[in-house]
Copies of this chain bind each other. A is one copy, B any other.
Amino acid sequence: MTIDRIEADYLIETSFPPEAAAESMAGEQSSGTFLAIPGETPELKARAAARVERLEVLGDAAAPSLPGSGSPRSASEPRRVTANVTLSWPVSNLGPSLPNLVATVAGNLFELKQFSGLRLLDIRMPAAFADAYQGPQFGIDGTRRLAGVEGAPILGTIIKPSVGFGPEETAALVERLALAGIDFIKDDELQSDGPHCPFDERARAVMAVINDVAQRTGKKAMFAFNLTGNLDQMKHRHDLVQSLGGTCIMAGLNSVGLVGMIELRRHSALPIHAHRNGWGYLSRHPMLGWSYIAWQKIWRLAGADHMHVNGLRNKFAESDDSVIASAQACLTPMFPAKPCIVMPVFSSGQTARQAPDTYRRLRSLDLIYLAGGGIMAHPGGPAGGLASIRESWEAAIANVPLEVYSRDHTALAQALETFPS
């Protein structure tokens, strides 16, 4: 990539000649219009035009993946193909601005009639973007330091039920978990400031027990308080958590949006746990929307410290390959001078069962591993559930099969019985 151009990779499906279709993307997202315009000059267009850098036809597509696409007027037998396309833009079209980058690489083009499929696969930004945004403040090292966990994944859980608990019920559960020695607990993404569980009361009740347990045991659980809300609410809630000795905040990326995240990062003195709920509507059709590889870069540069990536054998529709690719992306540097590495968060239907495969495939311990029912519904209670997951990670690191390791590790043995594969 030349130093001053933005690049984006797309998967397209089109019955138009693919070169012409790719040029229509470039035109729509830069100096194009559907008719020649007075005042346009070749110099102007050349200065601002997006370029088709690469085009690779992958193969034939049978039926159109998406409705509404047109056909070229002159071709008697249009052939529909899929292709990989890379476009580039001069950064001088927009400057190093994340909100305007989104409009440029992911704007109107998904609606173009030329395409019966169009998905954004990846984005590469010039270094000017690294200078313009803060990126993660804590990342892996800062999170480990605050959580007091080295040499192992950060093990955690989610407060369930998602909604229904009040502050005292939440705090009572947190106390059990903290006494069990848990590293990390998070609010559910549905729980921010409901009248039955107001944020401020919950934060005070939860931090009272976390601080108390920390004094007694020396282990201070990191609690990610979901402060998703309007900007003033989020700032107030952040300040409250900080004043109470809390060590993490959480926000829903699709709820707050890019400006909300950028502002939260500017204000925050705590790690930002970024929830991706709503990700399905951005990604679930394979010929539409965003790949996680592209999407997570926006939020890492904006300032997320932890990014959700789903989990292996999860309760959702996503494949294990996709989950691992997402987590690897979070651990891959974005810029030489500002790598923006964030902790991938594995979550959704996780128990002691998935640790070995997670480690085998990711080859890293830099992750947050969240189990809800896998900890809470263990026959030994939260302490047993947590122990079972610690033991499963020990087994994974030692490359010992779970069934073998469980012979002299009771909590793990109970987990394998309770949560069949």
Q: Contact residues of A with B, CB < 8 Å?
A: 29-40, 44-45, 47-49, 65-69, 92-95, 97-100, 102-104, 106-113, 115, 118, 120, 160-165, 169, 172-173, 189-190, 192-196, 228-231, 233-234, 252, 254-263, 275, 277-282, 284-286, 288-290, 310, 315-319, 349, 372-374, 376-377, 381-382
Closest to A254 in B: B102
Cβ contacts under 8 Å, A310 to chain B: 111
**Are B230 and A280 in contact (CB-based, < 8 A)?**
no
Number of this chain's copies in the assembly equals: 2
A172-B39, A281-B289, A317-B112 are contacts. A30–B163 as well, Cβ < 8 Å? yes
User: What are 9 inter-chain pairs, A to B, with CB distance below 8 A?
Assistant: A31-B164, A39-B169, A45-B164, A102-B255, A103-B252, A103-B255, A111-B279, A113-B316, A231-B259
**Are B104 and A263 in contact (CB-based, < 8 A)?**
no
**Are A99 and B229 in contact (CB-based, < 8 A)?**
yes
What CA separation (Å) do A143 and B234 show in the bound complex? 32
Cβ contacts under 8 Å, A107 to chain B: 189-190, 252, 277-278
Q: Other CB < 8 Å A-B pairs besides A99-B256, A100-B228, 12 of them?
A: A31-B161, A33-B161, A33-B373, A37-B372, A39-B165, A40-B164, A45-B164, A48-B196, A106-B278, A108-B278, A113-B317, A115-B317
Cβ contacts under 8 Å, A282 to chain B: 281-282
**Are B45 and A161 in contact (CB-based, < 8 A)?**
yes
